[in-house]
Chain A
Amino acid sequence: MQDLTARYGPVLAVRGVSLKVAEGEIVALLGANGAGKTTTLACIAGLHQSRTGQIRFDGQDVSRLSPERVLRRGISLTPEGRRLFSTLTVQENLLLGGAARGRRSRNDYDALLALFPILRERLHLPAALLSGGEQQQLAIARSLMSKPRLLLLDEPTLGLAPRLVRLVLDLIGRLREERGLSVLLVDQNVHQALELCDRAYLMRTGQIEAAGSPDELRRSREVQAAYMGVV
């Protein structure tokens, strides 16, 4: 992704951001509230239309595509706040996740439920009745139904109990191991994100402020000042 700029009316939420995710890599996008992380993901997914710059995936320009086309290219966003269809059942949410692939997604359905045993028990419940952790698993499972090669995860652990945070993070790691999935992860919890990722970017007021391996970032003054309570 090159030189991405995005606006909300007159406000520049993202300014000249460039970043890269390699195949099978987990990359974290860190930063405080309002740093532009969510907007960056929304731009990649095609949800945010007011943007300039270029987004390339697999050598092809996807910068001007609608959300439905971006998904068909193999990029799936698990959005902030999960945005499950709360009146639909777990099963219906999952089937919609595979909508773009038609009947082929039915084959993956069982394999996917093996990854999320708790969802199998809840298939016919409305999504609104699931607990927070179950909802997050459903949101990720729904994204995976489209068989993406790049998963954009926006705050997947927000509001979860520590045990569930562990579960979700382990799951992300497993998905990379087992499926060769690339992940761009937005997280406010710097410690846990740095533990999981291969590389990370730190955003502040719409710009990339630091980038590198987890070790490099832990040592960098920006991260220490902002997140580790070291001055």
Chain B
Amino acid sequence: MTQLIQELVNGVSLGSTYALLALGLAMVFSILGLINFAHGELVTIGGYTMWTLFNHGFPWPAVLVLTLAGTTLAAVAMERIAFRPLRGASIVTLLITSFAVSFFIQVALQIFVSAEPQGIGVPNWTDTVWHMGDVSLPAVKVVTFAVTIAAVVLLAVFLRRTLLGVAMRAAAEDFDAVRLMGVRANVVVVAAFAISGLLAGVAAVLFFTSAPGVDSGVGTPLVINAFIGVILGGLGNLYGAVLGGFVLGLATSLLDANLHGTYTQFSQAFALAIVVGILLLRPQGLVGRSEGLT
């Protein structure tokens, strides 16, 4: 029993990272029809920002704020430089462009920053472990889950209570009609990217606090898993994306812990088999595709 709870804690924590990234992917997809595979590089950029700042002795709160600002700016720059000139292009063109952006950032980081994995000097108190009976709860994992839930709630409030949020939900349904209301297209698009960048920043801070280090390729498996989460939840559905991220995280973590011997190396394959199975039963995803941004 203790063992199972332990695995669930691990799964929820892993799922949180996927969920935060899936949320950003789903947000941009709903509004632009763009599946942004360069989204993972935002996490990588966040990791390198943390590495640089900790190396220069910045205090923890400053690192937090600057990392979030860094990934948000990187996401906005990505839109401005790579995707805005292609506004209205086909989904395939956008997809290939996002791969190009992803490779470009990875190679640029290898050339100009570091080709070797770098350990991030996070403060020691992040290693705190809480105990509940026999279950040990690493503080980072509990905080990761709490922050993820808080981010989802804040985003939901933003989308319901602010005019910009309402405009973004409307744009997910009918982009041109939103422009007919006098809402500037670029404001909505930049907001979507900025939010996805901010969420990627939150994911990066949480992820690298417990990850062994950062390298230029660290974002790729993360974005692929987040994308699987998005599909699992139902493409273009925010709550679905969050749920899909958690389900994938839990499945991976439970399989990791319970597979033995040579099977261990196939845990990802088994997780994907579960995803395929779910999609065979529910092709529309767990929550289902939605027309708007819900």
A residues touching B (Cβ–Cβ < 8 Å)?
45, 47, 66-68, 71-72, 76-77, 79, 83, 85-88, 92-93, 95-97, 99-101, 142, 146
How many angstroms from the CA of A188 to the CA of B178 in the assembled complex? 26
How many angstroms from the CA of A186 to the CA of B41 in the assembled complex? 50
Q: Pick the residue among A67, A68, A77, A85 that contacts B170 (CB under 8 A).
A: A85
List of A residues within 8 angstroms of B174 by Cβ = 83, 85
**B155 touches A (CB below 8 Å):** no
Complex A-B: 12 CB contacts under 8 Å: A47-B176, A47-B179, A47-B180, A71-B180, A83-B174, A85-B292, A86-B291, A88-B169, A88-B170, A92-B169, A100-B183, A142-B181
Q: Which of A66, A67, A93 has the most CB of B within 10 A?
A: A67
Contact A67 B179 (CB under 8 A): yes
List of A residues within 8 angstroms of B294 by Cβ = 87
Contact B184 A68 (CB under 8 A): yes
In the complex, per-residue mask of B250-294: 1 if CB is within 8 Å of any chain A CB, else 0: 000000000000000000000000000000000000000011101
List of B residues within 8 angstroms of A99 by Cβ = 163, 167, 181-183
Ranked 7 nearest A-B pairs via Cβ: A100-B182, A87-B292, A71-B182, A67-B179, A85-B170, A83-B177, A96-B181
**B190 touches A (CB below 8 Å):** no
Q: Pick the residue among B166, B167, B177 that contacts A79 (CB under 8 A).
A: B177
List of B residues within 8 angstroms of A85 by Cβ = 169-170, 173-174, 177, 292
Q: Pick the residue among A66, A68, A86 that contacts B173 (CB under 8 A).
A: A86
How many angstroms from the CA of A79 to the CA of B181 in the assembled complex? 11
B residues touching A (Cβ–Cβ < 8 Å)?
163, 166-167, 169-170, 173-174, 176-185, 290-292, 294
Contact B182 A146 (CB under 8 A): yes
List of B residues within 8 angstroms of A68 by Cβ = 179, 182-185
Given contacts A67-B176, A85-B169, A88-B170, contact A100 B290 (CB under 8 A): no
Contact A87 B166 (CB under 8 A): no
List of A residues within 8 angstroms of B181 by Cβ = 71, 96-97, 99-100, 142, 146
How many angstroms from the CA of A83 to the CA of B171 in the assembled complex? 12
List of B residues within 8 angstroms of A66 by Cβ = 179, 185
List of A residues within 8 angstroms of B185 by Cβ = 66, 68
* Closest chain A residue to B170, Cβ basis: A85
